[in-house]
Amino acid sequence: MPLPSKLTRLIPCLMAAGLALTALAAPSAAEDRPAKELFGAKRLPAKMATNPYGSYAKGCIAGAVAIPTDGPAWQAMRLSRNRRWGHPQMIALLEQFSQDAQKLGWPGLLLGDISQPRGGPMLNGHASHQVGLDADIWFTPMPDHRLSAEEREKLPFTSMLDKSKFLTVDSRRWTSTHAKLVMKAASYPQVERVFVNPAIKKKLCDTWQGDRSLLGKVRPIYGHDEHFHIRIKCPEGAAGCKPQARVPAGDGCDASLAWWFTKEPWSKPKPKKDDKPVKPWYLTMANLPKACGTVLASASPASEQEVTYQGNGGVSSTALAFSGGGDTPANSIESVIANDTALPAIVPIPIPRPFQ
């Protein structure tokens, strides 16, 4: 049966309207996607002037550079993650730190995660490391040979803790050189914080004989028994970078450390009878600075080599580098990192441990 002529004329209009609505809905659907999927898919940085935007745990970076997989005093690990990108000041600091570490008697640095090519939320493992100003350093010293790609993926972490005791450093693994390494990282003016496990902070408080004013930069946090985390300040002139609150005065060997040795940080929240299951929540582009949309959409450089750090603050197309390609509950960790000055007014001071 033929359709009425008016309806026949109306059908194309309805189809066009439907397509228009679909087109309007598409950007909204993209905005609703987890931002970690969008940033995690980018293999190269934004070809823009270098700038971090937002905060350490809610931001992105334009114009990041890669640290070469191998240097005179470092080797980058877990290459398949493609997370050896950062602000040039961060990469330059790692180069300097690796050389200074060797002067302390440390063979060289094994570099963990820095940032993704354009920063932003990561697919797994971190809530911070989003603006290219954070870097993880393994407590495992660099081996005396160049690691293969497979070794870099599979070499296990080495914990500095005695797992048979509560928050206690393993004296069979921890050495005075480990202590010097952490404190050297804290000594650089641009370094704002060095995150370590509370047991390691306690060990330093008990044993460090050097300049104790630097101990205040060493902050206790969950995990961080297999690596330590260096965070540098927002670079001068980076107006879009949101700084963290200043570290409190003092060495931090006080009630703020003692809190970690109470039950409160480790107790699981008690569920309420009427609590409904909490849906997973992820950062979307709407949660990030507007500039991150531009960073995400920006063109890429022609190659990774073009934006690989060469040394002494520069990048060069002649630099040799390559990149490849366990989830942890990061939100609770990052909430403490972001608010590490907010602690109970009165907490018991732990009994000093004997030197080991």
| 290-341 residue pLDDT tens | 999 999 999 999 999 999 998 765 554 333 333 333 333 333 455 555 555 5
> How many beta carbons lie within 10 A of that of residue 170, not counting itself?
17
Which has more confidence, 314 or 90? Answer: 90
E strand spans, 26-178: 51-55, 58-62, 65-66, 70-71, 74-76, 85-86, 109-111, 134-138
8 Å CB contact between 119 and 60: yes
Average pLDDT over residues 111-138: 95
Which pLDDT score is estimated for 129? Answer: 96
- Residue 267's pLDDT band, with cuts at 50, 70 and 90, is confident
> At residue 285, does pLDDT exceed 80?
yes
Which pLDDT score is estimated for 202? Answer: 98
8 Å CB contact between 127 and 327: no
Residue whose C-alpha is closest to residue 152's, from 83, 224, 85 = 83
Which pLDDT score is estimated for 125? Answer: 80
Which pLDDT score is estimated for 351? Answer: 43
Mean pLDDT of the chain: 84
Average pLDDT over residues 48-57: 97
Alpha-carbon torsion (309, 296, 127, 205), positive or negative = positive
Which has more confidence, 134 or 350? Answer: 134
Number of helices and strands (H, E) in the chain?
A: 9, 13
Average pLDDT over residues 95-122: 97
Which pLDDT score is estimated for 186? Answer: 98
Query: 64: buried, middle or exposed (CB in 10 Å: 19+, 13-18, 0-12)?
Result: buried
Which span out of 125-129, 244-248, 328-332 was modeled with the highest average pLDDT? 244-248
Which pLDDT score is estimated for 279? Answer: 76
- Residue 92's pLDDT band, with cuts at 50, 70 and 90, is very high
What's 175's DSSP letter? Answer: -
> At residue 247, does pLDDT exceed 80?
yes
Average pLDDT over residues 138-150: 96
Which pLDDT score is estimated for 337? Answer: 56
CA 17 to CA 13: how far, in whole Å? 6
DSSP-derived 3-state class of residue 111: strand
Which has more confidence, 319 or 122? Answer: 122
- What six digits make up the tokens of 345? 């007014």
Which pLDDT score is estimated for 85? Answer: 98
DSSP-derived 3-state class of residue 62: strand
Rounded to a whole number, what is the distance in angstroms from the first to the last CA of the chain? 94
Average pLDDT over residues 160-169: 95
Average pLDDT over residues 172-197: 97
Q: Which of 3-7, 177-181, 300-304 has the lowest mean pLDDT?
A: 3-7
- Residue 139's pLDDT band, with cuts at 50, 70 and 90, is very high
Which pLDDT score is estimated for 24? Answer: 38
